[in-house]
Amino acid sequence: MTESGRSFLRRRRTGLRGNLWFRLSDGNNGATFGSGRSGRTECDMNPENDAAQPDAHVKYEAEMGYWRERHRLERQLGNAHYRELMLSVSGLDAEAFSGRVVADFGSGPRGSLEWLAGQARTICIDVLVDEYVALGINDHRAIYVRSSETEIPLPRDSVDILFSINSLDHATDWKRMLEECIRVLRPGGVLAMSVNIDEPPSPAEPNTLRHEEVLSLLEGHISVGRSAISNRASGANKYQHLYDWAQKGIAPPAYNGSWGIFWFSGIKVATTE
């Protein structure tokens, strides 16, 4: 990645979190972000008012209810598992992230990209960023960007590697948000996702996704290089079958079509647009 396409200005720390300013620029498009002690970034592309989205408040309350309970039980939300998870989903070596712009769509408040602190430029994207301040995101080194239900407020082609871990079915319009993930990813960039499929809807996860639907939307935009489908593993680690596939080359058990997990990673293809 060359610096001519993206110029990063300065990072200045003061107090608990400090002030953070940088600029992402893709030539004709750009967005400037600043973050202070509130834990939320400000962007010159303003997301629409999510209160207008149907059932948004019900969904957000269900999401925050889950996270508040996890915070109560854990006292400090842990994130140690994300390194292994994201390396396994993406199929990349840890060195591949050095100097890159790495984003996580639907990141939650755990600090999913903290394992890359000091190695990559990290951006956590979530519709509930403001609410996550109370759960400790001020202590994270990643930049948090508040999305809406229809837009990721980042410039086109501004991200090198984009993750999404069990978040696509949380989006009210998941197809639109998948398109947004593709939009912000640069040509040649890596999209790596773990998607819950054939899962009954719930207040926090209102959509039941089929892996065929996901693949159809990727066609012509993302060249999928590796993928696998698994039933949720029993026990503490629901991803165990997929870890065995990614790390040891062991094929997952035959998928039974009920409440599974779809892992894929691929490269964004260049377009003539």
Residue 177 near residue 207, CB atoms below 8 Å: no
Residue 11 lies in a domain: no
pLDDT value for 235: 78
pLDDT value for 43: 44
Residue 101 near residue 160, CB atoms below 8 Å: yes
pLDDT value for 273: 54
Helices and strands of the chain, counted as H and E runs: 6, 11
pLDDT value for 25: 36
Residue 244 lies in a domain: yes
pLDDT value for 19: 28
pLDDT value for 109: 98
Residue in this structure with the two tokens 């995101």, named with its chain if needed: 137
How many other CB atoms are there within 10 angstroms of residue 228's CB atom? 17
Residue 32 near residue 43, CB atoms below 8 Å: yes
Domain boundaries, position 215: 54-268
pLDDT value for 254: 93
Residue 158 near residue 58, CB atoms below 8 Å: no
Residue 20 lies in a domain: no
Residue 236 lies in a domain: yes
pLDDT value for 42: 41
- Per the rule left: phi > 0, alpha: psi between -120 and 50, beta: everything else, 38 is alpha
Structure tokens at 160: 């090198």
pLDDT value for 70: 96
Backbone angles phi, psi at 197, to 5 degrees: -125, 150
Q: Which residues contact 180 (CB under 8 A, 6 or more apart)?
A: 147, 150, 151, 152
Residue 47 lies in a domain: no
CATH number at residue 163: 3.40.50.150
231-236, Cβ contacts within 8 angstroms, sequence gap of 24 or more: 231/255, 231/256, 231/258, 231/259, 231/260, 231/261, 232/259, 232/260, 232/261
pLDDT value for 24: 42
Residues of the chain with pLDDT below 70 are: 1-54, 272-273
- Please state the domain count of the chain: 1
What are the angstrom distances between the C-alpha of 241 and each of 87, 112, 169, 229, 262? 15, 21, 21, 9, 11
Residue 219 lies in a domain: yes
- What pTM does this model have? 0.82
pLDDT value for 206: 87
Radius of gyration, CA atoms only, the chain: 18
Residue 74 lies in a domain: yes
**In b/e form, how buried is each residue of 68-102, taking b as 16+ CB within 10 angstroms?**
eebbeeeeebebeebeebbbbbbebeeeebeebbb
Residue 163 near residue 105, CB atoms below 8 Å: yes
